[in-house]
Amino acid sequence: MVPAYHIRATLLPDGDQQRDFWIHDRRITFEPVDGAEDLAPIGGFVLPGLVDCHVHLTLDFAESGLPAGSAELVEANLRGHLTTGTFVVRDMGAVSDATQRLSDECRPRVHYAGRLLAPPNRYFGIQRNTPSDELVDVATREAKSGAHWVKIIADFDESGDLLQGTPNYPHEILAAAVKAAQSAGARVAAHAVSAAGIQAALNAGVDSVEHGTGISERQLEQMAARQTAWTPTLVIAPGAAAMSSEMGGKRAADAVLAGFENARQMLPVAARLGVDILAGTDMYPPGSVWREVAALKASGLEPALALAAASTTARAFLGEPALEESALADLVLYERDPRNDPEFLKRPSLVMFRGDRVAV
């Protein structure tokens, strides 16, 4: 028989007082359960499990030494997320089909894209080579294969000066590919960093903009009106600048850093307009989403909004439940309030996934 538990804690990201809830048959209820044992000391802080909305499960940013694209690497990366309380990840482009072969048991929930779609020689060599005349067909096949997302590289400049990138695909082709993928049941995310690339992605009707370093207030207004989400990935700024320096020298690196500074300044504007802001770590090892929460907070987001970007806002955007009646007991407990210091997110006192405790 599965034991029942009681918890009294402050519900994050925006709770301001303690609440009682119970775990019965591995699910959350706010109705008292007789005989339930206290799961943790009273007075902590609880989240429904973190969400990292921009990861690459088939790449080895943890430097494990496992082959890129391998099933073993995907599993290792997922374990890294799970043990830090990250229960939902959105894989934003793979270098193999390993993420499409995952079951949904005993691991974080994966909202996966298929391969990274870009023209030949336009994305580090890890893309599926997709010329303009093939984009609609390839995007359609990705969606029909069961992918939750299709990831299109909307702009990329080989010089390393990413803000000067021009769109990779003509407008009518990109728009047709987005429509085809959405009609086949997937959503579309666009890697877009230059103002022109971002506008091309928005005009095509994508569901989320990834990075968006050259974003403007006018574009954020369009995103708010269309309910297009933004994943700024602020935490990767140093790494992106280093890559740009290798490709295009100091001038390119400086341009990238200037772009991320623009994104930081636009974050409060996005929040004011009501754009869904999602936390994503991209090139960081699994379990690093706390770093992006810290970067969002440091860039002017209210602490609760910064934490929501890695929890409730992200869950709502992906259609995942939070701490609500009858939801599976996915939760993370903290002794201290991570809104005050997001670094506490990497030190949970208890992690429970689907009603079972996870070693931390």
Residues 16 and 84 in one domain: no
Can you give the CATH number for the domain in which 13 is found?
A: 2.30.40.10
Q: What local confidence, expressed as pLDDT, does residue 359 receive?
A: 76
Residues 139 and 27 in one domain: no
Residues 41 and 57 in one domain: no
Residues 59 and 171 in one domain: yes
Residues 198 and 146 in one domain: yes
Residues of the chain with pLDDT under 50: none
Residues 40 and 165 in one domain: no
Residues 212 and 267 in one domain: yes
Q: What local confidence, expressed as pLDDT, does residue 25 receive?
A: 95
Residues 82 and 27 in one domain: no
Residues 138 and 249 in one domain: yes
User: How many structural domains compose the chain?
Assistant: 2
Structural domain containing residue 101: 50-318
Can you give the CATH number for the domain in which 143 is found?
A: 3.20.20.140
Residues 199 and 327 in one domain: no
Residues 189 and 248 in one domain: yes
Q: What local confidence, expressed as pLDDT, does residue 10 receive?
A: 98
Residues 217 and 335 in one domain: no
Supply 320's token pair. 């995942």
**What is the pTM assigned to this prediction?**
0.95
